[in-house]
Amino acid sequence: MVRSKKLRLAFGVEFLSFTLPALIVILLFVEIPFIMSIAYSFTRWNGLDKVPKFIGLENYKELLTNDKVMMQSFVFTFIFAVLFVVAVNIVALALAVMLDSEIKGRNLFRAAFYIPNIISLIVIGYIWRFIFSKGFESLYNLTHAGIFQLSWLGDSKIAFFSVLIVSVWQAAGFYMVIYIAGLQTIPKDITEAAYIDGAGGLKRFFTVTLPLIMPSVTVCVFYSLSNAFKIFDIIFSLTFGGPGTATTSIALDIYKTAFNDFRFGYGSAKSVVLFLMILVVTLIQLSIFKSKEVEA
């Protein structure tokens, strides 16, 4: 009896020494701050006061009824997310299909399209600020094409597409790689059978290839969707949410509310809303896409 107690103790100590470090850092740096954020969302707090002041649902009320910037950032983020998910997946899938065929130098091509993905997002934004201003100026002088003369960062409607183009350009390589991995799992005899049966390229793609890589599509849509909702760095360095507040995303709005306006309670309320939104949207997306997967 005593012996088994000792054994159980030894087992417990061993178990904890393996698992406790992970548990502690995850609780300390993610979950406790998250729970604190939910608590802060019911308070008014400027970061200097010792104790945040409890104000109930005031923050949420203000957020829903009296915050034009927040509403605008919602609209921006939603439209951006939809267009980004569609555009990046089409570009990535098209590249993947082309690079899945046996052409010379395909590894070089893959590397080329992947390169923007290894550069930090903040630097990507700066690079494109240079391209949109100085680069396009010179390209206009060379070609006189009107597209280079547009105010890519100064006009609020066009700035939206600047952010979109840069984001797709940066991310497409990453999703391309996932799609290539998916395409490689398709048994060659299936596509060959379809070819012999006389299905043309496009038909073969939509009726054979696409249904078979639905798991990859699910993964890519899931990732691109949740990344789109979290967009921050590129906007931070490319437009800083401007002109005006035209390209302010929810994440940037949270950052500005908390660290520029020093309204930590209000910023926390916004961050809780962001969490709920991403949760709901990704759950809906996963349940829809999972049902479309088929097996070879």
Q: How many helices (H) does the chain have, and how many strands (E)?
A: 15, 2
Should residue 236 be labelled a site residue for another protein when binding is judged by CB under 8 A? yes
The least CB distance from residue 87 to another protein, in Å, is: 14
When the beta carbons of 129 and 246 are compared against another protein, the nearer one is 129
Q: Is 238 in the site for another protein (CB under 8 A)?
A: no
Name the residue nearer to another protein (CB basis): 33 or 187: 33
- Is position 262 an interface residue for another protein (rule: CB under 8 A)? no
Let me know: does 130 contact 217? Beta carbons within 8 Å. no
Identify the residue among 223, 228, 238, 248 touching another protein (CB under 8 A).
223
Residue with Cβ nearer another protein (159 or 253): 253
Task: State which amino acid sits at residue 242.
Answer: G
Quick one: CA dihedral 13, 19, 25, 26, positive or negative? negative
Q: Which one of residues 71, 75, 82, 119 is an interface residue with another protein (CB under 8 A)?
A: 119
Calpha distance 60→250 (Å, rounded): 15
- In the complex, least distance from residue 118 CB atom to another protein, rounded to whole angstroms: 5
* Residue 169 to residue 121: CA distance in whole angstroms: 11
Binding mask 95-114 for another protein (x = CB under 8 A): ---xx-xxxxx---xxxxxx
Nearer to another protein, 14 or 197 (CB): 14
Q: Is beta strand 43-44 parallel, antiparallel or unpaired with respect to 53-54? A: antiparallel
Judged on CB neighbours under 10 Å (0-12, 13-18, 19+), 150 is middle
Token pair 């201003």: residue: 133
Site for another protein contains 194 (CB under 8 A)? no
Binding of another protein by 31 (CB under 8 A): yes
Q: Is 60 helix (H, G, I), strand (E, B) or coil?
A: helix
DSSP lists the bridge partners of residue 75 as: none
Q: Which of positions 168-187 make contact with another protein (CB under 8 A)?
A: 169, 174, 177-178, 181
Strand partners, 53: 44
Q: Report 2-21 residues binding another protein (CB under 8 A).
A: 14-15, 18-19, 21
**Residue 210 interacts with another protein (CB under 8 A): yes or no:** no
Residues 69-98 interacting with another protein (rule: CB under 8 A): 98
d(CA 201, CA 187): 17
| Using rule CB under 8 A, residue 120 touches another protein | yes
